[in-house]
Amino acid sequence: MIDNNLINFKVMGDERGSLIPFEEGKNVPFDIKRVFYIYGTQKDISRGQHSHYRSKQLLIAINGSCKVTLDNGKKRETYTLNKPNVGLFQNALIWGEMHDFSQDCILMVFSDSYYRDSDYIRDYDDFLEIVNYGDR
Ligand code: T46
């Protein structure tokens, strides 16, 4: 497992149903600057395929399921996300690919950064160079 990435969230609720609170710095391990979710991903489509220079993120399949492959430049690990109370932490400088989406998958993502295209490393060879030798 890459850096012990899975986080189990406490499910609150009662006879009416369930509720999961997310609080920055408490059960979310960073300050939350941005939340987005992706849904309606077509069959056989792979998303992500990039790393971030600085951003950290937490991914939760709040509905349906998908797989996420994380890669630190030395090893890869694939996780199945299929529970709304389990999140996958993706640190900066970790390559991520999201794939095998169920039709009903809603993948919610918390990020510690505002969206900036310049934070993305989209070329895998550049990523390997940066994690292994630094940003020369
Ligand atoms: C990740 C996976 C799960 C914005 O304008 N603001 C945003 O916050 C984001 C994330 C994207 N965009 C725009 C940029 C593109 O024009 O939305 C379009 C699709 O974004 P992207 O190609 O980055 O989508 P994915 O699904 O490949 O990746 C995104 C996140 O970028 C990524 O960090 O983990 O969702």
Q: What region, left, alpha or beta, does residue 25 occupy, with left being phi > 0 and alpha being psi -120 to 50 degrees?
A: left
- Strands 86-90, 57-63: parallel, antiparallel or unpaired by DSSP? antiparallel
Average pLDDT over residues 60-84: 97
Q: Is residue 22 part of a domain?
A: no
Sign of the C-alpha dihedral computed for residues 84, 86, 91 and 97 taken in this order: negative
Range of the domain at 41: 4-11+27-133
Count, residues in the chain: 136
Question: Which domain CATH number covers 105?
Answer: 2.60.120.10
Q: Is residue 82 part of a domain?
A: yes
Number of the ligand 1 atom closest to the C-alpha atom of 41: 26
Asked whether 52 and 95 are in contact (CB, 8 A), the reply is: no
Q: Is residue 106 part of a domain?
A: yes
pTM of the model: 0.95
Q: Is residue 17 part of a domain?
A: no
The 10s digit of each residue's pLDDT in 103-113 is: 999 999 999 99
| Contact residues for 131 (Cβ-Cβ < 8 A; gap 6+) | 72, 73, 93
Q: Is residue 33 part of a domain?
A: yes
Give the separation between CA 45 and CA 18, rounded to whole angstroms.
Answer: 31
- For residue 3, name the pLDDT band (cuts at 50, 70, 90): low
Q: Is residue 18 part of a domain?
A: no
Name the token pair of 62. 């709040």
Question: How many structural domains is the chain composed of?
Answer: 1
Pocket of ligand 1 (CB under 6 A): 34, 36, 38, 47-48, 57, 96, 98, 107, 109, 115
Q: Is residue 111 part of a domain?
A: yes
Q: Is residue 50 part of a domain?
A: yes
CA of residue 72 to ligand 1 center, whole Å: 20
Give the separation between CA 61 and CA 64, rounded to whole angstroms.
Answer: 6
Q: If you count DSSP H runs as helices and E runs as strands, how many of each does the chain have, helices first?
A: 1, 12
Average pLDDT over residues 58-75: 97
